[in-house]
């Protein structure tokens, strides 16, 4: 996928950690370039991955600036515009779901809420849940994976069984069930706050075994490497080996799996909201918009196309970027 690199650009001698990183990933040190450097060089050449990365940045900006963007077009996600609705059918008047200069992507059936503003605000929900639940999964997965791989024995046995079990669980069903039995108020949060909090925790919790498995496997094989042996024979303590020798070499797989997990989480959030157990109206979320669009797929197809495309573009951007990061960090890849 990536073209061979030309003259190496990094002149600085690699630090011990960088060298360890290169050796640890099973790569011969070529003229002292760190793995991170190599990866970045490769990523820069991968046009699709860069496009995905730029798109992700744009989406993050959209989510952060949602109130600014919507006020620029003079709309907000929750005001009703019933005057734009055909009273007989409940669908928007005008072509393509009521697209006009005021309402860039049309209005929702029945309520007439501005779809553009709702899409912009929906990005907040999707990205928030996507990122935070990935962080939850990464933290749990890394800690337990490293512990299992490093200490072995019964720790490994317990963690591995739990991971196998969670992976074999009917996950969506459990997530739906858990999210739906949660009360409306807890820990000082209400309504949407509770739902977001619970979704993040539950999606993250069911995601950690994917990272945990990889981290455990890496740790197992790294533990026996000569450089770890060398550190140990020099009298390095457990925690030194754990944090200075092992963790730096786990960064690459962790990054790869985190980038791959975010789009999956975004899809799960959208699915939950689609099924009516996630974020509820009037709060805007893409999945919930699609679920209301079911009733209008024949009379107002634009209403379903817009949030569907929003989900598609977002997930595609993350997937493109994730694929690129994976290829760039793959020690076996061409360089």
Partner 1 sequence: MLAYLIRRLFAAVVMLAVIIMVVFGIFFLVPKWAGVDIAASFVGKQADPAAVEAVRQKLGLGDPIFVQVWEFFKGIFAGRTYAAGGDVTHCAAPCFGYSFRSEQAIWPVLTDRFPVTLGLALGAAVLWLLFGVAAGVLSALKRGSMWDRGAMVIALAGVSLPIYFTGLLSLAIFSYGLGWINAEYVPIEESFTGWLGGMILPWVTLAFLYAAMYARITRATMLEILGEDYIRTARAKGMREQVVIRKHAMRSTMTPILTMLGMDLGALIGGAILTETTFSLPGLGQAVLNAIKNQDLPIILGVTLITSVAVLIANLVVDVLYAVIDPRVRLA
Binding site for partner 1 (CB under 8 A): 165, 167-174, 176-178, 180-183, 186, 263, 267, 270-271, 274-277, 287, 290-291, 293-294, 297-298, 301, 304-305, 308, 311-312, 315-316, 319-320, 323, 332
Smallest separation, CB 44 to partner 1 (Å):
20
Smallest separation, CB 202 to partner 1 (Å):
11
Q: How far apart are CA 72 and CA 89, in angstroms?
A: 31
Query: Cβ(128)–Cβ(265) under 8 Å?
Result: no
4-8's contacts with Cβ under 8 Å and 24+ in sequence apart are: 4/334, 4/335, 5/38, 5/41, 5/42, 5/335, 8/32, 8/33
Residue 85, helix vs strand vs coil: strand
Quickly list H helices, 82-237: 115-151, 153-168, 171-181, 192-223, 226-233
By beta-carbon proximity to partner 1, the closer residue of 84 and 315 is: 315
By beta-carbon proximity to partner 1, the closer residue of 241 and 320 is: 320
By beta-carbon proximity to partner 1, the closer residue of 93 and 171 is: 171
Nearest CA to 42 among 323, 249, 259?
323
Q: How far apart are CA 229 and CA 222, in angstroms?
A: 10
Smallest separation, CB 19 to partner 1 (Å):
26
Smallest separation, CB 294 to partner 1 (Å):
7
Query: Cβ(309)–Cβ(15) under 8 Å?
Result: no
Query: Cβ(281)–Cβ(288) under 8 Å?
Result: yes
By beta-carbon proximity to partner 1, the closer residue of 80 and 180 is: 180
Smallest separation, CB 201 to partner 1 (Å):
13
User: Which DSSP category does 84 fall into?
Assistant: G
By beta-carbon proximity to partner 1, the closer residue of 89 and 297 is: 297
φ and ψ at residue 5, rounded to 5 degrees:
-75, 155
Q: How far apart are CA 314 and CA 127, in angstroms?
A: 9
Smallest separation, CB 183 to partner 1 (Å):
4
Q: How far apart are CA 316 and CA 98, in angstroms?
A: 27
By beta-carbon proximity to partner 1, the closer residue of 15 and 184 is: 184
Query: Cβ(277)–Cβ(194) under 8 Å?
Result: no
* DSSP-derived secondary structure for 172-199: HHHHHHHHHHS-SEETTEETHHHHHHHH
By beta-carbon proximity to partner 1, the closer residue of 100 and 171 is: 171
Smallest separation, CB 311 to partner 1 (Å):
5
Q: Cα 211–216–217 angle (5° rounding)?
A: 105
Smallest separation, CB 251 to partner 1 (Å):
22
By beta-carbon proximity to partner 1, the closer residue of 93 and 180 is: 180
By beta-carbon proximity to partner 1, the closer residue of 30 and 294 is: 294
Burial of 18 (0-12, 13-18, 19+ CB in 10 A): buried
Smallest separation, CB 275 to partner 1 (Å):
6
């Amino acid at each position: 996928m990536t073209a061979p690199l030309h003259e190496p650009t990094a002149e600085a001698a690699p630090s011990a950690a960088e060298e360890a990183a290169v050796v640890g990933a099973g790569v011969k040190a070529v003229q002292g370039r760190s793995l991170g450097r190599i990866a970045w060089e490769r990523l820069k050449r991968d046009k699709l991955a860069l496009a995905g990365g730029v798109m992700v940045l744009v989406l993050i900006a959209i989510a952060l600036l949602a109130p600014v963007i919507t006020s620029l077009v003079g709309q907000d996600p929750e005001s009703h515009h019933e005057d734009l609705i055909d009273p007989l059918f409940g669908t928007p008047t005008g072509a393509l779901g009521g697209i006009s200069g005021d309402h860039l992507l049309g209005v929702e059936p029945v309520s007439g809420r501005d779809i553009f503003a709702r899409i912009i605000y929906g990005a907040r929900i999707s990205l928030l849940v996507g990122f935070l639940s990935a962080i939850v999964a990464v933290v749990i997965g890394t800690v337990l994976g490293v512990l299992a791989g490093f200490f072995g024995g019964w720790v490994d046995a317990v963690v591995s069984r739990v991971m196998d079990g969670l992976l074999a669980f009917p996950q969506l069903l459990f997530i739906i069930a858990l999210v739906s039995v949660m009360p409306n108020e807890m820990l000082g949060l209400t309504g949407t706050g509770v739902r977001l909090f619970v979704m993040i925790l539950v999606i993250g919790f069911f995601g950690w075994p994917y990272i945990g498995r990889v981290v455990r496997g890496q740790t197992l094989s790294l533990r026996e490497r000569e450089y770890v042996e060398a550190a140990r024979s020099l009298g390095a303590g457990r925690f030194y080996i754990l944090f200075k020798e092992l963790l730096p070499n786990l960064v690459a797989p962790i990054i790869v799996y985190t980038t791959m997990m975010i789009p999956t989480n975004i899809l799960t959030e959208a699915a939950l909201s689609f099924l009516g157990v996630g974020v509820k109206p009037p709060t805007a979320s893409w999945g919930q918009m699609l679920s209301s669009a079911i009733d209008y797929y024949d009379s107002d197809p634009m209403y379903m196309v817009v949030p569907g495309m929003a989900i598609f573009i977002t997930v595609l951007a993350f997937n493109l970027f994730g694929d690129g990061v994976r290829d760039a960090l793959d020690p076996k890849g061409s360089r």
